[in-house]
Structure 1
Amino acid sequence: PEAVIFDDTGYLKSGSSSPCVARQYTGTAGKITNCQIGVSAHLATETASCPVNWRLFVPEQWDPGSPRAGADVAERRARCGIPDEVGHTEKWRLALAMLDELHGWGVRAPLTVADAGYGEIGEFRQGLEDRGLDYAVQVAASVTAYPETAARTTPPCSGRGPRPTPRYELAASSVKDLARAAGTRAARRITWREGSRWRAGAPARMSSRFVFLRVRPASQAHHRAHRGQDLPVRWLITEWPTGASEPSKYWISNLPSRTTRAELVRVAKLRW
């Protein structure tokens, strides 16, 4: 496998008796609806993918320790056979647990890919780095980062208490603002693979414009992991289609600085 891809799937339901069914968002329906959610890990190449591990997501309504649980939660869990030790766990934590299980089976992939539901979580990205894994994960436009050139300064010491630690001079910006500051002139057209549609008797090539920046992601998880040090530099990959007034998608990747732009786009798009 070239990558392990994390995703989740909604199983639409009419009633309320299935294990962990609740009103929640699912891309299956494109809205909040009554469903179960399965978090999945897929092994993938350019031409195929296969789900190899699953977790049923337990909403807070099904966790007796949550204030959102109903009075009948114990009865519903018993009727469904949910073990007592299984409670609500965030989807990104389920993904890391599945990754550790895959490694325990001796199954490893050199790259991790995920959508923004996972990629925008700083703890998830740090968890991948702690496991020594490369990643190219989609993030929301609101995720914050510093430019690569951002400088840290040490505030003057008052003479009392612990010495102040270096800090970045300016506040972190959203990845959307960083990309817009670079502007459309920085966009480069990249073609990454053949699509499923045909033109003039041949498969159409998938192509779009992208802006590539080197940034320092500013999540609290990264600040904690690199306390007292410069935040690490990562790739920010931004898709900015022709004619669009602003970017449409964003990815963060820890692939090496020498990675080609075409390779960055290829792995970012591998989820499809």
Structure 2
Amino acid sequence: MQRLLRTADWDVDGVRDDLRGYVLENLGDTASGVFVVDETGFIKKGLRSAGVQRQFTGTSGKIDNCQLGVFLAYASAKGRALIDRELYLPTSWTEDRERCARADVPDGVEFATKPQLGTAMPARTRPGS
């Protein structure tokens, strides 16, 4: 599955948008629906995965070599689902374009704080965003 997700030619953001639309259409509830933003860490041993560095992660409860992801979920009385994601890239990454290129990070990606990433995701759920 990891090989398929990494090497297949597909529109990652398009799939995200389709999933988000499906979830909001089927689980959407104006009385009980809320967006939930949270981060999680992925412990890593190497240094080549995008965003990896020694940083605090709640996954281990300490500073560890890891990646950090910011996630958006939608929850209502009808159910819950993850609908968006962003990889947090520390400035040690965004200021090193060569390193970013080696990890397939697109040229236009700039530093954003975790709160900025978390704020951008719900904004994408609005029509015309």
Common fold by TM > 0.5: yes
Q: Taking every aligned residue pair, what percent have the same amino acid on both sides?
A: 36
Partner of 1:19: 50
Partner of 1:77: 100
Partner of 2:25: none
2:88 to 27, 32, 57: 57
Partner of 2:110: 87
In structure 1, the residue corresponding to 2:126 is in which secondary structure? helix
TM-superposed CA distance for 1:29, in Å, is 1.1
Which region of structure 1 is more displaced relative to structure 2, 45-54 or 33-42?
45-54
Aligned equivalents of 1:15, 1:8: Cα separation in 2: 21
Considering Cα pairs closer than 8 Å and 6+ residues apart, tell me whether 1 or 2 has the greater RCO.
Answer: 2
Partner of 2:119: 96
Task: Provide Cα deviations, 1:167-197, integer angstroms capped at 9, x if missing partner.
Answer: xxxxxxxxxxxxxxxxxxxxxxxxxxxxxxx
Aligned equivalents of 1:16, 1:97: Cα separation in 2: 27
Opposite residue 114 of structure 2, the aligned amino acid is K
State which structure, 1 or 2, has the greater radius of gyration over its C-alpha atoms: 1
Task: Provide Cα deviations, 1:202-243, integer angstroms capped at 9, x if missing partner.
Answer: xxxxxxxxxxxxxxxxxxxxxxxxxxxxxxxxxxxxxxxxxx
Aligned equivalents of 1:60, 1:40: Cα separation in 2: 20
Task: Provide Cα deviations, 1:7-55, integer angstroms capped at 9, x if missing partner.
Answer: 0111110000001111111111111111111101100135842110001
Give the helix-richer structure, 1 or 2. Answer: 2
TM-score, normalised to structure 1, is: 0.34
**Alpha carbons of structure 1 residues 99 and 76: separation in structure 2 relative to 1, 3 Å:** same
Opposite residue 122 of structure 2, the aligned amino acid is L
Aligned equivalents of 2:74, 2:50: Cα separation in 1: 26
Opposite residue 94 of structure 2, the aligned amino acid is D
Q: What is the Cα-based RMSD across aligned positions, in Å?
A: 1.9
Opposite residue 60 of structure 2, the aligned amino acid is A
TM-superposed CA distance for 1:57, in Å, is 0.5
